[in-house]
């Protein structure tokens, strides 16, 4: 039997109470209808969802997508590692060439010219395990890039004729070259005068 005003009045319920009961009953029914409509909409979507799931299971799309993402990530990691290794090898090569006397702009030429040898070399910490290929380049192709430095003596056009310990004349001590400069330095002149006090 339906819950109506007529039915409630036959039960002897007062009119104001009947209004309250009907109002509460209406709210309950409306909530149930709304819930029912939601379930109905979900039920209508279920065949499409099941079809999509069956398609994924049959086609293996999720597995292929995972494998592609995994491969892309591994490739990225390998690329980063390769860049780090290349940078470490280049740093070791710069230190090696600098130690062999190749510096400045010549260092850049050597590093670029030895790219294949640097890539093929193995690192042992911050240095190369084997530098044979680089040694051959420095001794051959890169020989002109090596800067040699040496210490040269003073360029004196008229060396001191005093072999040491011998007597010098005043003219020899104060002798000048063709440009009017003393042949002996100030210190050498003073030493010669000290060794020959009779000239004072």
Query: Which tokens sit at 99?
Result: 């130690």
DSSP 3-state of 123: strand
Minimum mean pLDDT among 1-5, 72-76, 99-103, 181-185: which range?
1-5
Task: Name the most confidently modeled range: 41-55, 68-82, 186-200.
Answer: 68-82
**For residue 56, how far is the Cα from the chain centroid?**
41
Residue with tokens 């292929």: 64
CA pair distance 100, 123, nearest whole angstrom: 18
Given a cut of 70, is residue 82 above it in pLDDT? yes
**Using one digit for the tens of pLDDT, what is the confidence trace for 105-119?**
888 888 888 888 888
Q: Tell me the C-alpha distance between 131 and 33, whole Å.
A: 84
Alpha-carbon distances of 134 from 81, 127, 131, rounded to whole Å: 24, 12, 5
Query: Over the Cα atoms of the chain, what is R_g?
Result: 51
The rounded distance, in Å, linking the Cα atoms of 169 and 104 is: 52
Residue-level pLDDT at 13: 85
Residue 123 φ/ψ, nearest 5 degrees: -90, 145
What's the confidence (pLDDT) of residue 200?
62
pLDDT at 168 over 70: yes
The Cα–Cα gap between 184 and 13 comes to: 141
Q: Which of 107, 80, 97 is nearest to 135 (CA)?
A: 97
For residue 104, the model assigns a pLDDT of 80
For residue range 5-59, list pLDDT tens digits in order: 888 888 888 888 888 888 888 888 888 999 999 888 888 888 888 888 877 776 6
């Amino acid at each position: 039997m339906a819950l109506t005003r007529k039915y409630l009045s036959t039960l002897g319920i007062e009119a104001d109470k009947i209004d309250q009961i009907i109002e509460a009953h209406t709210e309950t029914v409306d909530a149930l209808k709304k819930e029912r409509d939601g379930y109905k909409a979900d039920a209508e979507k279920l065949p499409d969802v099941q079809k999509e799931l069956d398609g994924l299971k049959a086609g293996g799309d999720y597995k292929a997508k995972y494998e592609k993402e995994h491969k892309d990530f591994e490739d990225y990691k390998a690329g980063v590692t390769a860049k780090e290794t290349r940078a470490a090898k280049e740093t070791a090569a710069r230190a090696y060439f600098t130690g062999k006397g190749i510096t400045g702009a010549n260092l850049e030429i050597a590093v670029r010219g030895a790219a294949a040898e640097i890539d093929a070399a193995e690192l042992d910490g911050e240095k190369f395990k084997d530098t044979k290929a680089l040694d051959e380049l420095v001794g051959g192709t890169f020989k002109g890039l090596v800067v040699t430095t040496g210490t040269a003596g003073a360029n004196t056009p008229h060396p001191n004729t005093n072999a040491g310990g011998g007597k010098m004349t005043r003219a020899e001590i104060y002798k000048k070259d063709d440009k009017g400069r003393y042949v002996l330095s100030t210190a050498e002149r003073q030493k010669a005068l000290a060794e020959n006090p009779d000239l004072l």
